[in-house]
Every structure is written in structure tokens, then in C-alpha cells.
Amino acid sequence: MALGALEAGGTKMVCSIGDEHGRLWTRETFPTTTPAETIPLLIDFFRRHPVEALGIGSFGPLDLRPDSPTYGYITSTPKLAWVQCPLLPTLAEALGVPVGLDTDVNAAALAEHALGAARGLSGCLYITVGTGIGGGLVVEGRMVHGLLHPELGHIWLRPHPDDPAPHGFCPYHDGCLEGMASGPALQKRWGRPACELEASHPAWTLEAHYLAQMCMTAIVAFSPEKIILGGGVMQQAHLFPRIRAEVRRMLGGYVRHRAVEADIDQYIVPPGLGADSGATGALLLAARAAGGNSPG
């Protein structure tokens, strides 16, 4: 069964074709400009590569309430051209196939749970640390929604005493995780792109401290069975041991479980599917929309 996957990101749109087992075989990327320019390119791609269903993992916030008149819309995004964009209805009408939608990070969490680092567990938390920070949560095999969906990138943090920019850079919040620890926040604080900051730079001590606060909060709030950290900033592999050590310190021995003690190296981990978590998750959303059985 040919299924379509769309990773809708704030800078690029990645269209893929694959199957219900999460295998990907064709991929094309388009820049995210305005809906009027970008959406026709997506429709054209999926007309050239016909699919039985489409799954979308998108930046948001999104309206994911199926009974809402604006179901499948991007809602209040800082990307102003996309505010109130009817992403799902437009693609569903143009392509005439079932379309499934969730946040990019919920899709990635779904894929990591079904086929990646959290296979065999009852759920996981997937965090991307890139241009933004987002968290997707799978609990007992289901992606978590609610009023909207979790927005873990915007939890408040306690600033590090050595932080020269302790308020961070989120236009909405004083000192939230995304405003403190995203790739652009690192660049604004230190005046250089994050990928150019050497491993010994104090930036990474602060970064590990902030990402550990997020892990600590998530552990006590949701008790995830695995925490998967992906996205461009996590290419800095030296962050993993630092974050794990900080998490253990912050937990203070309160959560008594092997996973966060002796086995923490297997608890806070990179994505098992590498850079493919999002696309694979979108394929699994397509399989669900098609009504077929899928590993997700």
C-alpha cells in the first residue's frame, strides 16, 4: 500500500512515500514560504506519486479536535502567513484520500514507540531541540492531546546563575525552555551559530542544565518510560552524558527506579530512527487514516 507522509516544518516541507510498515522510499523537500505558494507544491507532489492515504506531522499549534469547525488548521503559529491555515482540509479535498494529522513531535514519538528507541515499551516522550523545542508524548500507545496538545517547549525554567540572558528569547514567555535553549536562542545568547560553539564552551553547561530541567519536569509529571532527544542541537552528542548527570542530580534520589539510576544511559537517548522519526511517524498516521493495521 503506497502511503504519503508530510513533515510540515517552519522552514521546509518534506514529502515522502512509503508503506504501512514505516518503510520510506521517495522523498522531496520544498521550502516553507506562504500557504499560497507552498501548498500547491505539496499537492503536485502527491498527485505525481498517488497514495491511498496521507499522514501529516506538522508544526503548530494545531487544532486536533475532530468535532471542531477548524479541525486540521494550524492555529496561532508565530509564522504569521500560516495562522489559521486549513492544512488538513485543503490537502484532503485536493487529493481525495483520508488524511491523518498530528504534531510533528507526536508523530515522531509514535514512530519511536512503534519502531525505534521505545519499541516494546508502553510509551515515550520525544523532544526535538532545533529551531524550536517541542515535545510529543505517547502514553499506553496513544498520542496525548487535550485542550490542544502538550507544548513542552514552553515550560518555565529556573535560570542558571551564570546565564547572561536569563529571560531567554521567546516572544510570549519570560524564561521558557524554547526561549532559553533552542538553536536560535543559543545563537542570540552567544553571538555565534550553535554548531560553531566548541564542546568546552559554557553554552553547553547551561544547555544541559535547561534540558535536564525539562527531563526532570517530564519525569515527575508523566513518568515516561523513555526520553528521546532529537533535533539539530542534539547533534552535540556530548550533551547526553551531561543531561543525564544533571537529571540524576535534580531528581535527588526521589524517583527510585533503575531507569533513572543505574540504567539512565538507556533512558535518555537519541532517536532510534535517526533523522527519520518524523517521516516514519507521518507514514504511521497515514496508515491509521487508511484504517489499516500498522506497527503504530
Element (H, E) at 291: none
d(CA 209, CA 204) in angstroms, rounded, equals 8
Residue 195 contacts which entry, ligand ADP, Zn ion, none (Cβ below 5-8 A, type-dependent)? ligand ADP
Enumerate residues 230-289 that contact ligand ADP by CB under 6 A: 231-233, 235-236
> Of the two residues 22 and 134, which places its CB atom closer to ligand ADP in the complex?
134
Cell numbers for 114: 512503534
**Residues found near Zn ion in the complex (CB under 5 A):** 154, 170, 172-173, 176
Classified as helix, coil or strand, 90 is: helix
Q: Are 68 and 260 in contact (CB under 8 A)?
A: no
Enumerate residues 163-222 that contact ligand ADP by CB under 6 A: 183-184, 193-195
Cell 509514535 -> residue = 110
Strand partners, 269: 228
| Residue 14: C-alpha distances to residues 123, 209, 291 (Å) | 26, 32, 23
**Distance in Å, CB of 10 to Zn ion, minimum:** 15
Classified as helix, coil or strand, 138 is: strand
Nearest to 249 by CA among 260, 239, 257, 259: 260
**Distance in Å, CB of 197 to ligand ADP, minimum:** 7
> Of the two residues 32 and 213, which places its CB atom closer to ligand ADP in the complex?
32
| Residue 208: C-alpha distances to residues 30, 70, 129, 141 (Å) | 33, 38, 12, 29
Residue 224 contacts which entry, ligand ADP, Zn ion, none (Cβ below 5-8 A, type-dependent)? none
Residue 183 contacts which entry, ligand ADP, Zn ion, none (Cβ below 5-8 A, type-dependent)? ligand ADP
Residue 231 contacts which entry, ligand ADP, Zn ion, none (Cβ below 5-8 A, type-dependent)? ligand ADP
Element (H, E) at 209: helix 202-222
Residue 281 contacts which entry, Zn ion, ligand ADP, none (Cβ below 5-8 A, type-dependent)? none
For 5, list phi and psi in degrees, rounded to 5.
-130, 130
Enumerate residues 75-134 that contact ligand ADP by CB under 6 A: 128, 130-131
Residue 55 contacts which entry, ligand ADP, Zn ion, none (Cβ below 5-8 A, type-dependent)? none
**Distance in Å, CB of 57 to ligand ADP, minimum:** 11
**Distance in Å, CB of 218 to Zn ion, minimum:** 16
| Interface residues toward ligand ADP, by CB under 6 A | 9, 11, 128, 130-131, 183-184, 193-195, 231-233, 235-236
